[in-house]
Amino acid sequence: MNPLQQWRAFQDKSLYYQAVKADGEESCWREIARQYDQLVYPQHQQRALLARLLPRLDGVSSAIEIGAGSGTLTMPLARQFRRMTAVEPSPSMAEVLQGNLVQQRLGHVTIIRQRWEEAQLPPADAVIAGGCLYVFYEIEAALRKMREAARSTVLLTHVGNEGLWDIDLRAQELLAAPKPCLFPPLPLLMDVLTSLRIPATVELFYVTTTKRFTEEQWLKRCQRLFAVRPEQQPLLLDFLRQELHQEHGCWTVTEDVPATIVELRREN
């Protein structure tokens, strides 16, 4: 199998891509779009990523952001640019993003409510895809389009390559579950880039993330990732109670997870 076929084979098994394929993940975003940052993207994580991202955007005055979500990166990045286009197909996410942009008076950001594959946009200095490569099945076409749309740089970011790190691994061992396929792993992306002869630089670093879910949300997440059997539920609950820190009705965990910025360069 060549790397492009391997990418599609991974996506065929990926829990996250299956949700994209089913309904563009809308059933998930409908539930959590308003709480996305609180649940998935705490401020200390955002700050750590921005500190690595912003120096790479020096001199950039226009940008396209793919998969902008609720605007976690859009809003701090928009302050750097004269013009910004946020591509976001999910109606729930786009609605939250629109509200956030109005509240923060970022009128120079345009939301395109389409998938990247269909969006027809004029080029910009930079194209940024934050944590969203997992939505693409035809990765070659998506990357080619990003390179064509970017006058100077394409930045692909990802935090927590495979979800949480320690706690997921221990839960998986406890439940004797197979490793779930979530985001396409970094080595696979590297193989894809190499096979397409795309020059790139990779920065690998570690950021502290905090996940703050209710008990019900933790159980739902574990159920989805590890297909927990009914007789394993008490074991899982004991484990979560032991491992997680309880705070204001939520169960939280803080971990250092790997993060990457892959920059696709223009020159050979």
Interface with ligand SAM (CB under 6 A): 20, 24-25, 29, 41, 66-69, 72-73, 87-90, 93, 115-117, 130-132, 135
Q: For residue 12, list its beta bridge partners.
A: none
Question: In this complex, which beta carbon is closest to ligand SAM, that of residue 136 or of residue 226?
Answer: 136
3-class SS of residue 189:
helix
- 159 or 244, CB closer to ligand SAM? 159
Write down the least CB distance from residue 78 to ligand SAM, Å: 13
Shortest distance, position 136 Cβ to ligand SAM, whole Å: 7
Instruction: Using the minimum distance from each CB to ligand SAM, give the nearer residue, 163 or 206.
Output: 163
CB of 189 to ligand SAM, least distance (A): 16
**Helix (H, G, I), strand (E, B), or coil: what is residue 244?**
coil
Q: Write down the least CB distance from residue 131 to ligand SAM, Å.
A: 4
Q: Between helices 233-243 and 166-174, what is the axis angle to 10°?
A: 150
How far apart CA 98 and CA 198 sit, in angstroms, is 34
State the nearest-atom distance from the C-beta of 163 to ligand SAM, in Å.
11
Percent helix / strand / coil, the chain, rounded to 5 = 45, 25, 30
Nearer to ligand SAM, 34 or 235 (CB): 34
Tokens 């670093």: give the residue.
Answer: 205
Tokens standing for residue 125: 């200095």
DSSP labels, 89-155: --HHHHHHHHHHHHHTT-TTEEEE-S-TTT-----EEEEEEES-GGG-SSHHHHHHHHHHHEEEEEE
